[in-house]
Copies of this chain bind each other. A is one copy, B any other.
Amino acid sequence: MIIVMKSDSTQEKLDAVVDRVKSFNLQAHLIQGDGQTIIGVVGLPLPPSLDEMFGIMPGVQTVLRVSKKYKLVGWDFHPQKTVIDLGDGVTIGGDSVSVMAGPCSVESEEQTISTAHAVRAAGATILRGGAFKPRTSPYEFRGLGERGLQILAQARAETGLKIITEVMTPSDVEKVAEYTDIFQIGARNSQNYLLLEEVGKAMKPVMLKRGLSMLIEEWLLAAEYVMAQGNPDVMLCERGIRTFENATRNTFDVSAVPVLQSMSHLPVIVDPSHAAGKRKFVDALSLAGVAAGADGVIVEVHPEPDQAMSDGAQSLNFDQFAKLTPKIKAVAEAIGRGLEIPDSVPA
């Protein structure tokens, strides 16, 4: 940590800062020059809010924290990239790009199972579907609840796909864990710290969606919450941030892919459906995400998007999805990765 004193500060204020540094068993190294004094603070550990604490002391101009606030999610303590093993040969974060697909909401057995067959045939290995749905208005459809989880489990049994579904509150974690292979934490819960800790204890993989206005550092700290409970299997999902532009529902921050990968060993997934909010842009954003290096893509697919109970406007139908995965495969191969599309014919 580096503390820069104001040019018009006094010796007395400097002494007070130095004394405070020593009170934490840290050392203070002074640099004088141009009428300004800089204090290099050396020693460990640094309490997390120490920079803020020094920043308001009299005579201090600014404080620069050099060390990172997170540990477990960073490369320093984990030099190998995380590969999440879901069993049965399904992994996330390895050489292949993973495709997750399915409806926004689980609406019925028929809708979910037909979708599962269709997306598996097109190359998906993981089925997405919401049983508990956060909705902006209290008057909208909120999902089938546990019945939805049962339908997802049935789809897994029939197709061999793994399952990802959202959990919204700590007291639901145990129940959702009975059914799901991956917990999804939604954007609105991205800083619901008690929920993050609860899935951290559940020891099943977690996909952490980015909050609408979450800084990348905050996102990594949210992942740190999960990992700090002992759960190593976390992945991060870019799904668009909120900006002034309204031509798309959110702004797909494709840069987050290489930025995260430079800071963290955790796999990165992109969600073009929620980012775009409009079906016609899903292809372009999927390919952009894969070209930028994403480890996976999660896409909304519905048998009849125009009849969907939620998010129909951004969902692909079976045919559109079946045309998208070969393009994903082609781009993945262009950058030296792969995607396996089964030979089998869809149900």
Contacts and interface: CB of A to CB of B under 8 A. Distances in A.
A168 B195 CA distance: 10
Chain A interface helix/strand/loop/mixed: mixed
A84 to B, nearest CB: 21
A339 B292 CA distance: 19
Contact of A193 (B138, B191, B243): B138
A316 B56 CA distance: 11
A43 B38 contact: no
A255 B244 contact: no
A335 B253 CA distance: 21
Nearest to A258: B284
Contact of A334 (B2, B4, B168, B334): B334
A303 interface: no
Contact of A331 (B27, B141, B217, B331): B331
A255 B327 contact: no
A288 interface: yes
Contacts of A293: 284
B276 A48 contact: no
A43, A138, A141, A285 pick with most chain B CB within 10 angstroms? A138
A58 to B, nearest CB: 9
11 contacts: A7-B76, A29-B31, A33-B42, A36-B66, A48-B137, A134-B191, A136-B218, A139-B228, A168-B194, A257-B284, A284-B291
Given A211-B212, A243-B253, 5 more contacts: A212-B213, A255-B281, A284-B292, A285-B292, A288-B291
